[in-house]
C-alpha cells in the first residue's frame, strides 16, 4: 500500500493534481473538500453544519472531518493506496490520520507540498469563482482561507518534515509540468499502472 498526502494552500492545485495522480497510479482519492461539498449539496445535518464554516473561509471542526475520513478509508480496504487531498489540515487531524492508518497496519509514505505564490492563488480562485458558483471563491473569503491556512495548516508541514516525509514541489508551472515534478517524487515509491 502507498499513501500520499497532497498538501498546500487553497488554490495550489491539490484537487487538480490528485485527479491525475489517482488515474496514473491507480490510487483511491479522498478529498475532504469534495466530501464536505457533497454533504452540503445533499442538505445533510453534517453539510448544514459544515457550510457555516466553509462560507466564512474557516476550517470545519476536526471531529467532523476525522469521522468522515475514517468511514471513507473503510469503504475500500483493497485499495492500492490513498491520495489524501486537503487532509490533514491541522495537527490534530494529522495525528488522527496516523492512528487510523496504524490501526490498518499502514502509514503515510510521502507528503508532497505544492508551493505557489499568494497572488497566483488569489488569481486562480477568483477566476474559478466566476464559473464554479462556489460560495467560498470570493476575494473576501479567499483571503480568510489563506489566513486560516497560515495559522492552522502550515504548521502541519513541520509535523511531516520532522519524520522526513515532506517534499516541496513548485506548483505554479503548467498543470502538466507540475504533474511531472510530482510524479518524479512518487516514482521513488510506486510506478504508474
Ligand atoms: P478544498 O476543496 O480542499 O479546496 P481548495 O483548497 O480550494 O483547492 P485546491 O488546492 O484543491 O485547488 P484546485 O486544484 O481546486 O477546501 C475547501 C474548503 O473545505 C476549505 O476552505 C474548508 O472550509 C473545508 N475543508 C476541506 N478540507 C478540510 C479539512 N481537512 N479540515 C477542515 N476543513 C476542511 O485548484 C484551484 C484552481 O486553480 C482551479 O480553478 C484550477 O483549475 C486552477 N489550477 C490548478 N492548477 C493550476 C496550474 N498549474 N496553473 C493554473 N491554474 C491552475
Residue 161 belongs to domain with CATH number: 3.40.50.300
Q: How far is 91 from 89, CA to CA, in rounded Å?
A: 7
| Whole-number average pLDDT of the chain | 96
Residue pLDDT, tens place only, 1-20: 999 999 999 999 999 999 99
Give the CA-trace dihedral at 180, 26, 37, 57, to 10 degrees.
-30
Query: Is there a domain that residue 55 lies in?
Result: no
Ligand 1 binding site (Cβ under 6 Å of any ligand atom): 8, 10-16, 32-33, 36, 53-54, 59-60, 65, 86-87, 89, 93, 124-125, 128, 136, 145, 174-175, 178
Please tell me whether the peptide bond between 88 and the residue prior to it is cis, using omega within 30 degrees of 0.
yes
Tell me what pLDDT residue 154 has: 97
Residue pLDDT, tens place only, 66-108: 999 998 999 998 999 999 999 999 999 999 999 999 999 999 9
Residue pLDDT, tens place only, 108-122: 999 999 999 999 999
Going by C-alpha positions, the residue among 105, 43, 139 that lies closest to residue 51 is 43
Q: Taking the model in full, what pTM does it have? A: 0.95
Query: How big is the CA angle at 122 (ends 37 and 167), to the nearest 5 degrees?
Result: 80
Query: Is there a domain that residue 129 lies in?
Result: yes
* Structural domain harbouring 123: 2-27+79-186
**For 130-149, what is the mean pLDDT?**
95
Number of domains into which the chain is organized: 1
Amino acid at each position: 500500500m502507498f499513501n500520499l498526502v497532497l498538501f498546500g494552500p487553497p488554490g495550489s492545485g491539490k484537487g487538480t493534481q490528485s485527479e491525475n495522480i489517482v488515474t496514473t497510479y491507480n490510487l483511491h482519492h479522498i478529498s475532504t473538500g469534495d466530501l464536505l461539498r457533497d454533504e452540503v449539496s445533499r442538505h445533510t445535518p453534517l453539510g448544514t453544519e459544515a457550510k457555516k464554516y466553509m462560507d466564512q473561509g474557516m476550517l470545519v471542526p476536526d471531529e467532523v472531518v476525522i469521522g468522515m475520513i475514517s468511514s471513507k478509508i473503510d469503504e475500500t480496504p483493497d485499495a492500492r493506496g490513498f491520495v489524501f487531498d486537503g487532509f490533514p489540515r491541522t495537527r490534530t487531524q494529522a495525528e488522527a490520520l496516523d492512528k487510523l492508518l496504524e490501526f490498518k497496519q499502514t502509514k503515510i509514505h510521502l507528503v508532497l507540498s505544492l508551493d505557489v505564490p499568494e497572488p497566483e492563488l488569489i488569481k486562480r480562485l477568483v477566476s474559478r469563482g466566476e464559473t464554479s458558483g462556489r460560495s467560498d471563491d470570493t476575494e473576501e473569503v479567499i483571503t480568510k482561507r489563506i489566513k486560516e491556512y497560515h495559522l492552522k495548516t502550515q504548521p502541519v508541514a513541520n509535523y511531516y518534515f520532522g519524520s522526513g516525509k515532506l517534499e516541496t514541489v513548485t506548483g505554479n508551472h503548467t498543470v502538466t509540468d507540475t504533474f511531472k515534478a510530482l510524479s518524479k517524487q512518487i516514482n521513488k515509491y510506486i510506478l504508474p499502472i
